[in-house]
Amino acid sequence: MTRNLNLMAALVAGLALAGCGGGSSSEAPAPSPSPAANEVPAEASASPAAYVTWMGKQAKDDTKEPLAVQGFVPPTSETDEPVALN
């Protein structure tokens, strides 16, 4: 009988702890970090077309901070035709 009581106590304690796990916080999950304004986003390296599209959206402004391109390698393709960046 003591064994059954110990088992029941362990089961009740386990259920009580399981009920405490998922908070009911109304906070929204943290947004994924976006690249800084002077960094090349990961989407730009997906394909040559994505890179050209991203480059075309950049403002043509000489007063803007330079891009941080350390470690970024523009995507290449052996089959796509070259595209002018204008």
Q: Which residues of 13-47 are buried (b: 16+ CB within 10 A; e: fewer)?
A: eeeeeeeeeeeeeeeeeeeeeeeeeeebeeebeee
Q: Which of 41, 55, 58 is CA-nearest to residue 85?
A: 55
Render pLDDT for 30-76 as a digit per residue (tens, 0 to 9). 555 555 667 888 888 888 888 888 888 887 777 877 778 788 888 88
First-last CA distance in the chain: 85
Query: Is a pLDDT exceeding 80 seen at residue 2?
Result: no
Structure confidence at residue 33 (pLDDT): 52
Looking at residues 22-26, what average pLDDT do you find?
A: 57
Q: Phi/psi at 2 (nearest 5 deg)?
A: -65, -35
Query: Is a pLDDT exceeding 60 seen at residue 81?
Result: yes
Structure confidence at residue 24 (pLDDT): 57
What 3-state class would DSSP assign to 13?
Answer: helix
* Global confidence as pTM: 0.48
